[in-house]
């Protein structure tokens, strides 16, 4: 019933965002030309790209400043030669998720909540992503696999919250997500439906009336955690989508990853918190980078991270201060960092 490529299912539903998704920019040379950047690093960029492809949608691309190699949005999507170096301690599956994958489609690591890998696809390839080596293809949920996942959740009454994850769960079609939501709402101990997605940021057109409808029309409490790393990622269209979600009663939270050269500045983090709140989003987590091979150049030291947090605390209302955390294998929760 579920085709192998979730992006081309259900051609009858609102196609705007799916077209945008299908027309992502994927060629390094084209990106450099569009952004009026120097082509001299192209061969290294292509090497990094062959390991983990360049993928960037148009609405995100247009927020990147032309001619600026240090643009904080560009840095998150442009493959670089730095990704090719091997750094001790940076591995292919740093969170050992293989072990918490009872079967395809579920990662159950923490009490009371679990991840349901709803779509293997993403609308953007973030260079720091800890899932860059994760076998997505084996984790596309549908048919018999989905039935197995649902019966796992139905059997374990300790599960109060189901977190749709990926890839990016909102890369799946509304029809599929609607059916999934209905099935989850039928499991009486499930109370909260949480979605972690970067789509509201990278393709804000994804937030359609149809999407809001399935998300808010069951008895489950809807929570959406957007993944925004920099205030420049929030343009008018993103703001409109967030306002729509807010009006529909969705609890909006943000998680960021702390990234060298992108948001490792107190000024940027403070501005991010203020801008998020302007659009009804509360900061939730600020993640220390997962030690995934190819992302070491984004790492910010714990000492610097804590210093940044002190500056944020000194300048923001308490509820605008995200929790600085790290995810490590073998703990019952994400670990807060403290001095
Ligand atoms: C982050 C994460 C969760 C959710 O943790 P919260 O602290 O509730 O946000 C659940 N399962 C896994 C595997 C996770 O990585
Ligand atoms: S899973 Fe999230 S961080 Fe990773 S590439 Fe997809 S959108 Fe980016």
- pLDDT tens digit sequence for 202-226: 999 999 999 999 999 999 999 999 9
Residues sharing a CB contact under 8 Å with residue 167, sequence separation 6 or more, in sequence order? 117, 118, 119, 120, 121, 122, 131, 136, 139
Residue at 7 is within a domain: no
Statement: residue 46 has pLDDT above 70: yes
Could you tell me if the CB of 109 is within 6 A of ligand 1?
Answer: yes
Statement: residue 13 has pLDDT above 50: no
pLDDT in tens, 281-335: 999 999 999 999 999 999 999 999 999 999 999 999 999 999 999 998 899 999 9
pLDDT in tens, 221-264: 999 999 999 999 999 999 999 999 999 999 999 999 999 999 99
Last residue in a domain, options 38, 63, 84? 84
Confirm if 226 and 254 have CB atoms less than 8 A apart. Answer: yes
Residue at 38 is within a domain: yes
Q: Give me ligand 2 centre to Cα 77, in Å.
A: 10
Residue at 2 is within a domain: no
Q: Are residues 184 and 319 in the same domain?
A: yes
Q: How far apart are CA 263 and CA 266, in angstroms?
A: 8
Statement: residue 137 has pLDDT above 70: no
Could you tell me if the CB of 320 is within 6 A of ligand 2?
Answer: no
- pLDDT given at position 311: 98
Give residue 22's domain range.
17-84
Pocket perturbation via mutation, ligand 1, pick of 93, 96, 115, 194 by most ligand atoms within 8 A of CB: 115
Could you tell me if the CB of 122 is within 6 A of ligand 2?
Answer: yes
| Residue 33 burial (CB count, 10 A) | 11
State phi, psi for 182 to the nearest 5 degrees.
Answer: -60, -45
Total domains present in the chain: 2
Could you tell me if the CB of 20 is within 6 A of ligand 2?
Answer: no
- pLDDT given at position 314: 98
Q: Which long-range contacts (CB under 8 A, 24 or more apart) does 311-317 make?
A: 311/266, 311/269, 311/270, 312/266, 312/269, 312/270, 312/273, 315/266, 315/270, 316/270, 316/273, 316/274
Statement: residue 11 has pLDDT above 50: no
Q: How far apart are CA 309 and CA 319, in angstroms?
A: 13
Q: Are residues 60 and 138 in the same domain?
A: no
> Band of the pLDDT at 82, cuts 50, 70, 90?
very high
Q: Are residues 103 and 78 in the same domain?
A: no
Residue at 280 is within a domain: yes
pTM metric for this prediction:
0.93
Confirm if 73 and 64 have CB atoms less than 8 A apart. Answer: yes
Higher pLDDT residue, 96 or 149?
149
Q: Give me ligand 2 centre to Cα 81, in Å.
A: 20
Q: Give me ligand 1 centre to Cα 290, in Å.
A: 14
- pLDDT given at position 131: 72
Averaged over 62-70, what is the pLDDT? 98
Could you tell me if the CB of 107 is within 6 A of ligand 1?
Answer: yes
- Which residue in 84, 65, 72, 54 sits closest to 258, CA to CA? 72
Averaged over 156-166, what is the pLDDT? 97
Residue at 226 is within a domain: yes
Q: Are residues 199 and 221 in the same domain?
A: yes
> Band of the pLDDT at 12, cuts 50, 70, 90?
very low
Confirm if 178 and 207 have CB atoms less than 8 A apart. Answer: no
Residue at 10 is within a domain: no
Ligand nearest to the CA of 100: 1
Last residue in a domain, options 41, 63, 84? 84
Q: Tokens at residue 124, please?
A: 């953007």
> Band of the pLDDT at 339, cuts 50, 70, 90?
low
Dihedral of CA atoms 178, 17, 77, 28 in degrees, nearest 10, equals 130
Last residue in a domain, options 59, 84, 109? 84
Residues sharing a CB contact under 8 Å with residue 168, sequence separation 6 or more, in sequence order? 119, 121, 122, 123, 197, 198, 199
Q: Are residues 33 and 152 in the same domain?
A: no
Could you tell me if the CB of 281 is within 6 A of ligand 2?
Answer: no
Higher pLDDT residue, 100 or 123?
123
Q: Are residues 34 and 180 in the same domain?
A: no
- pLDDT given at position 9: 44
Q: Give me ligand 1 centre to Cα 332, in Å.
A: 10
Could you tell me if the CB of 113 is within 6 A of ligand 1?
Answer: yes
Q: Give me ligand 2 centre to Cα 198, in Å.
A: 7
Pocket perturbation via mutation, ligand 1, pick of 163, 221, 253, 328 by most ligand atoms within 8 A of CB: 163
């Amino acid at each position: 019933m579920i085709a192998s490529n979730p992006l081309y299912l259900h051609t009858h539903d609102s196609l705007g965002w799916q077209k945008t998704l299908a027309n992502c920019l994927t060629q390094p040379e084209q990106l450099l030309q569009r952004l009026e950047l120097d082509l001299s690093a192209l061969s290294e960029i292509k090497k990094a790209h062959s390991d983990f492809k360049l993928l960037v949608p148009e609405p995100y691309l247009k927020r990147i400043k032309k001619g600026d190699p240090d643009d904080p949005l560009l840095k998150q999507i442009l493959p670089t030669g730095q990704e090719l170096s091997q750094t001790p301690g940076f591995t292919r599956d740093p969170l050992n998720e293989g072990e918490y994958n009872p079967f395809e489609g579920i990662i159950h690591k923490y009490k009371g909540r679990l991840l349901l890998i709803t779509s293997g696809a993403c609308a953007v390839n973030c260079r720091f992503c800890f899932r860059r080596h994760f076998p997505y293809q084996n984790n596309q949920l549908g048919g018999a696999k989905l039935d197995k996942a649902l019966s796992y959740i139905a059997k374990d009454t300790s599960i109060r919250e189901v977190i749709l994850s990926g890839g990016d769960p909102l890369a799946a079609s509304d029809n599929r997500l609607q059916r999934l939501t209905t099935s989850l709402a039928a499991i009486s101990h499930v109370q909260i439906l949480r979605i972690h997605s970067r789509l509201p940021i990278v393709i804000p057109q994804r937030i359609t009336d149809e999407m809001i409808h399935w998300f808010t029309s069951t008895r489950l409490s809807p929570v959406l955690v957007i993944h925004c790393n920099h205030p420049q990622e929030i343009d008018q269209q993103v703001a409109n989508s967030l306002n729509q979600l807010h009006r529909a009663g969705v609890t909006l939270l943000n998680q960021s990853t702390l990234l060298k050269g992108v948001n490792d500045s107190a000024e940027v983090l403070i501005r991010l918190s203020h801008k998020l709140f302007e659009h009804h989003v509360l900061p939730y987590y600020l993640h220390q980078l997962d030690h995934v091979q190819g992302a070491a150049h984004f790492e910010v030291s714990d000492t610097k991270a804590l210093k940044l947090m002190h500056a944020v605390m000194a300048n923001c209302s308490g509820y605008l201060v995200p929790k600085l955390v790290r995810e490590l294998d073998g703990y019952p929760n994400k670990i807060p960092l403290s001095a």
